[in-house]
Structure 1
Amino acid sequence: MLEHLTVVTHPLVQHKLTLMRDKDASTNSFRRLLREISQLLAYEITREMEMTTRRIQTPLCEMDAPVIDGKKLALISILRAGNGLLDGVLELIPAARVGFVGLYRDEATLQPVQYYYKVPAGLEDRLVIALDPMLATGNSSAAAVDLLKKSGARNIRFMCLLAAPEGVARMKEAHPDVPIVTAAVDERLNEHGYIVPGLGDAGDRMFGTK
């Protein structure tokens, strides 16, 4: 079982994150780096997937070879920025089922407002990985996990690029059974609910809408 919080300190992850933090990084570079770093994080978050064996024939002999057990996992993108992580993880696990949770943050209250929800069937039998680059206040992430649990999900993990201590604490309080995998836990949130030092608005930087 993964710990509640795993910070991936691999040199490639940290190097790519630094390039993404740079305010002068182009939209194209930011998008490419996000896709690359999502694959590196995916290696960690899928490390303990259940395995079984299958009898296969190699060019030399038969063998019992390891394969992933159970139903295909489900990747849940928390819109819109979650799609940046989704693209990379799908390249790594192309057979995964995909769902979407649409939440936006009310800038006055910093509380999440739902506007879209569509997820695969059979979540109770799948490993469900929720994807959102920024775990800031944790309110949207906790709300998304609430919705996934209502849909039957029991084995949920949360993958993000950056987290704030406040967001980690909020998620641990709301969903202590959901492990978090991230590339870094930054210092704090500012008065607008943005992660500091952070990298700005991940969605704006990824889609060029800043």
Structure 2
Amino acid sequence: MKKHLTIVDHPLVQHKLTLMREKSTSTASFRQLLREISLLLAYEVTRDLPITMTTVETPLMEMEAPVLKGKKLALISILRAGNGLLDGVLELIPSARVGYIGLYRDEETLQPVQYYFKVPKELENRTVIVVDPMLATGNSSAAAISLLKQAGANDIRFLCLLAAPEGVRRMEEAHPDVRIVTAALDERLNEKGYILPGLGDAGDRMFGTK
């Protein structure tokens, strides 16, 4: 396995992902499963966050105990599908700062087009977690991370539900310093840039649109 790619093989993650792949799964169930699985994936992407010690008073005595070190995390959602993962991660890290990057994929060129960018301040002092359910061609994800680096971010992780080998390669070429955490590495992309076997369009399935 590539050192910058982590596949979360926890049984609960894999079970929920299978339910999400099933085309008969309803919009409401898909949305709920995405929220649940994102919380589980968030444990892995935050596994090595830096900590420091502080003094606390338990009901019985004083002790030195670990707390997160540094500025609040920044969670960056790639619109619109990223918001489904964002909800679950925020349940785990409610104090995180949140930003949004609006990108859509030109259906002819498959290249990303930016339409929105609003992120927290002081990204250079924060761990930044970028969320988007699908790492397909990798073009949008790579573009989003380039924008974040321009804004000062230097500790970036990428969290997705599914990845295609093509997207992983694209990210490795563009941003070898960014670790990818995903529930599955699927087979390939089809001619339209969709992940196979995949689960369809995550945004459409999440929001009930076509």
> TM over 0.5, yes or no?
yes
In 2: Cα distance, 1:40 partner to 1:75 partner: 16
- For 1:70, the equivalent position in structure 2 comes to 70
Query: What amino acid sits opposite 1:104 in the alignment?
Result: Y
What is the aligned partner in structure 2 of residue 55 from structure 1?
55
Residue-pair matches, total = 209
Aligned to 1:124: 124
1:72 partner SS: coil
Cα deviation digits, residues 95-136 of structure 1 (max 9, x gap): 000000000000000000000000000000000000000000
Structure 1 residue matching 2:71: 3-state secondary structure: coil
TM-score (ref. length: structure 1): 0.99
Aligned equivalent of 1:167 = 167
For 1:82 and 1:18, how far apart are their aligned partners in 2?
19
Counterpart of 1:16 in structure 2 is 16
- 1:136-172 Cα distance to aligned partner (Å, 9 max, x none): 0000000000000000000000000000000000000
Give, in whole Å, the separation in 2 of the partners of 1:61 and 1:162.
46
Shift of 1:3: 3.3
Q: Give the structure 2 partner of residue 42 of structure 1.
A: 42
Q: What secondary structure does 2:169 align onto? A: helix
CA separation in 2, counterparts of 1:57 and 1:147? 43
Matched residues in 2 for 1:163 and 1:205: separation?
A: 17
Moved over 2 A (4+): none
1:180 aligned residue: 180
Please tell me the root mean square deviation across aligned C-alpha atoms, in Å.
Answer: 0.8
Whole-angstrom CA distance in 1 between matches of 2:129 and 2:58: 33
Q: TM-score, normalised by structure 2?
A: 0.99
Structure 1 unaligned blocks of 5 or more: none
- Percent sequence identity is 77
CA–CA separation in structure 1 for the residues paired with 2:58 and 2:164: 48
Provide the rounded CA distance (Å) in 2 between the counterparts of 1:145 and 1:21.
Answer: 27
